[in-house]
Amino acid sequence: MKIRLDQVDESYDWRETLELAVGDLNRSELMALGAVEYRGRINPTYEGFLFRVALSYEQTLRCMRCLAPVTESTSSEVDLLIHTGAKVTDEELELQEADLGVLVLEDLELDTRPILIEQIQLGIPMKPLCKDDCAGLCPSCGADCNAGPCGCEKAVDPRWAGLAGLKSQSTE
């Protein structure tokens, strides 16, 4: 959605549903993404505009240990202070670059899509897990160790399991 900021007088509220492709998020852990429902509000301030957005959606992530899909409901909120190019000096900009919540626009058109994409990316954990104690895959036979012991489990000291995995890969 694109909003002309020069047409915002007092407060502008809206709701929208955004359909994004998994590829738009550019994160290999993300397997599926549901429709993104969000509420937006823009208020003019004496410094620029305050943009508040609240998102909710369902995401399916790949467990980094056992590779199983994990679907979870996610929601997040962000406040951004928007400055438009005409109103901001270089000095002000330098001060604000240290501040993560500031967005500088060159013109008066706000495109919400890249902001939402960034928020969704921030909502993807670096190391998704299906559960905190996920046992992962057996490094020797590839069986899902959450399902119970596989034949080779006892033969490998868990401290060396990673090393054994490397060894068996290199001899294959």
Residues binding Zn ion (CB under 5 A): 63, 65-66, 130, 134, 138, 140-141, 143, 150, 152
DSSP H/E element including 165: helix 161-171
97-135 burial by CB neighbour count: b if 16+ within 10 A, else e? eeeeebbbbeebebebeebbbebbeebbeeebbbeeebb
Sign of CA dihedral 141, 143, 145, 148: negative
Nearer to Zn ion, 110 or 130 (CB): 130
Nearer to Zn ion, 24 or 153 (CB): 153
Least separation in angstroms between CB 140 and Zn ion: 5
Nearer to Zn ion, 37 or 144 (CB): 144
Least separation in angstroms between CB 123 and Zn ion: 19
Least separation in angstroms between CB 62 and Zn ion: 9
**CB atoms near residue 38 (< 10 Å):** 23
Least separation in angstroms between CB 131 and Zn ion: 6
**Alpha-carbon distance 102 to 100, whole Å?**
6
Instruction: Report helix, strand or coil for 97.
Output: helix
Nearer to Zn ion, 47 or 153 (CB): 153
Nearer to Zn ion, 67 or 93 (CB): 67
Residue 22 phi, psi (nearest 5): -55, -40
Least separation in angstroms between CB 17 and Zn ion: 31
